[in-house]
Amino acid sequence: MTRLHPNEQELMAYAAGNLSAGKLLCIATHIEYCEQCRADIKRLADMGGSFLETAETAPLSEDLFERIMSKAASLPEIKSGDQTAPSVAETATCRRAAGQPLKSLIPRPLMKLIPDGYDALPWKRLGKSLRITYLPVGDSQYEVSMQRIAPGGKVFEHGHRGEEVTIVLKGSFSDHEGCYQPGDFVVRNTEDQHEPVASSDTECICLSLLSEPIRFTGPLTRLMNPFLQVNK
C-alpha cells in the first residue's frame, strides 16, 4: 500500500506532539513540501487551542504566579516590536532569501542534522548505486537514515519486517506502484516487497524511517544485511 501523505492519525499525533523524534522529523519534513497537510496542521492547532481554552482546570500552587513574575523580571527586557535574536526558523528564512528556490535547500527540520549539505554527510557505500547514512535523532523506536541512489540506480529488492517511511528530498524514484517526487511520503509495510529505481536523469536523495532493519531478499545481497541493522 502506498500513500503520499501521512494519514490523519499521524497528522493528529504530530500536531499534538505525541510522536517520537523520528516520526516528528519525517512528518515535519513532508509538511515543508505539502500545502495540504500544512493546512490540516493549522486546523489541528486551532483544535488544540479550543480544547485548551475549554479544558478542565487543575489548581496551581499559590506562589506560582509570584515565582513566574520574579523570573520574568530577571529576563532581559523585550521592547515591543523588537525582534531580538533570530530563531533557527528565521535563520532558515535568511538562507532562503539568498535566492535559491525552497526545494533545492535542506528542509528546515533537517538543517541541524545536515548543516553543511548532503555531500558532507558520512555516506557508506552499499553496492554500486546506493549510499546510506544514519541520522542521530535520538529515537529509541525508529532508525532514521538517508539514502542516496545514483541516477538510474537500483536498490536491490527487499522486504520489510516492520514499517518503512520514505520521503523524497531530491530527484525521484519509482517502483512497481508508482513514481515518487520530492515531498512524497511513501509508506511500506510488512507484506510489501519492492525494488526502487532512481530516475535516470538525476540522483535521488531520500529520508527514511525504519521500525526494523531491512532484509534484502536476493541471494547475493543477503550478505549485506548486517550493514542495515538498526543501531540501538
Among residues 90 and 161, whose Cβ is nearest to another protein?
90
**Is residue 165 part of the contact set for Zn ion (CB under 5 A)?**
no
Give me the least distance between CB of 203 and another protein, in Å please: 25
What φ, ψ does residue 70 adopt, rounded to 5°?
-75, -35
Count the neighbouring beta carbons within 10 Å of the beta carbon of residue 35: 9
Contact flag: residue 120 with another protein (CB under 8 A) = no
- Does 95 help bind another protein (rule: CB under 8 A)? no
Report the distance separating Cα 209 and Cα 187, nearest Å. 10
Give 179's contacts (C-beta < 8 A, 6+ positions apart): 172, 173, 199
Strands (E), the chain: 124-125, 130-134, 143-149, 158-160, 164-170, 173-175, 178-180, 185-188, 193-194, 197-198, 204-210, 214-216
Contact segment (CB under 8 A) with another protein among 19-27, 154-162, 163-171, 202-210 equals 19-27
- Cβ distance 146 to 204 under 8 Å? no
Backbone angles phi, psi at 108, to 5 degrees: -50, -40
24 binds, among another protein, Zn ion, none (CB under 5 to 8 A by kind): another protein
- Residue 21: which of another protein, Zn ion, none does it interact with, CB under 5 to 8 A by kind? another protein
Instruction: Say whether residue 21 binds another protein (CB under 8 A).
Output: yes
Which of residues 33, 40, 204, 214 is near another protein by CB under 8 A? 40
Nine cell digits for residue 99: 535566492
- Which one of the spans 66-74, 125-133, 148-156, 195-203 is the region binding another protein (CB under 8 A)? 66-74
**Which position among 19, 37, 121, 130 is part of the footprint of Zn ion (CB under 5 A)?**
37
Q: Site residues (CB under 5 A) for Zn ion?
A: 5, 34, 37
